Amino acid sequence: MSKLRSEIESDYGAVRQVHVRAFGGYTEADLVDRLRGSPGSISLVATEANGMAGHILFTPARVEGNPVRVAGLGPMAVSPSRQRSGIGSALVLRGLEECRRAGYQAVVVVGHAEYYPRFGFQRGSNFGLWCQFDVPDEVFMAIELQPGALSGGGELQYAREFSEV
């Protein structure tokens, strides 16, 4: 059973290794390092007796011309040996709760089209949203934490660090 909690400084090395192992490289781990501690960010870990099992990060994003408070989900990683055990789902659900508590009105993600809809995510285009990055429509998704929050639509802008990847 995993324990979910906020990331602390002593987790940084283990979180980095989870991302490296899960993604098979350093891109996402480097992105987490650059985003870590951003004002308004939410960083959660899943720990087990044998160490770090997973990590999820939410950072402020914005919709051009729309004052809605939006968080971008990602990166998220689960150790390969612990994937498909519910850790990722637990991190997403807890993260959405934390985003609500922090006053975010919506969350967006660029991710697996088969995975995120189970949490209520829909194509961003259903809300009139499009992503600043050229990604397929089915992988850019959003969820309203406050009904009607995304009604204005617009272009979603992630934190500048995402453009530096």
* pTM (global) more than 0.75: yes
Predicted local confidence at residue 56, as pLDDT: 98
Other C-beta atoms closer than 10 Å to the C-beta of 7 total 21
> Residue ranges per domain, the chain?
3-164
- Percentage of the chain modeled with pLDDT above 70: 99
Mean pLDDT of the chain: 96
Question: What is d(CA 52, CA 47) in angstroms, rounded to the nearest whole number?
Answer: 5
Query: In the CATH scheme, what architecture does the domain 3-164 have?
Result: 3-Layer(aba) Sandwich (3.40)
pLDDT band at 28 (very low <50, low <70, confident <90, very high): very high
What confidence tens digit (pLDDT) does each residue in 70-80 have? 999 999 999 99
Question: What is d(CA 38, CA 57) in angstroms, rounded to the nearest whole number?
Answer: 10
Q: Which two tokens stand for residue 89?
A: 């789902």
Residues in CB range of 12: below 8 A, 6 or more apart = 33, 36
pLDDT band at 164 (very low <50, low <70, confident <90, very high): confident
Other C-beta atoms closer than 10 Å to the C-beta of 112 total 11
Predicted local confidence at residue 163, as pLDDT: 85
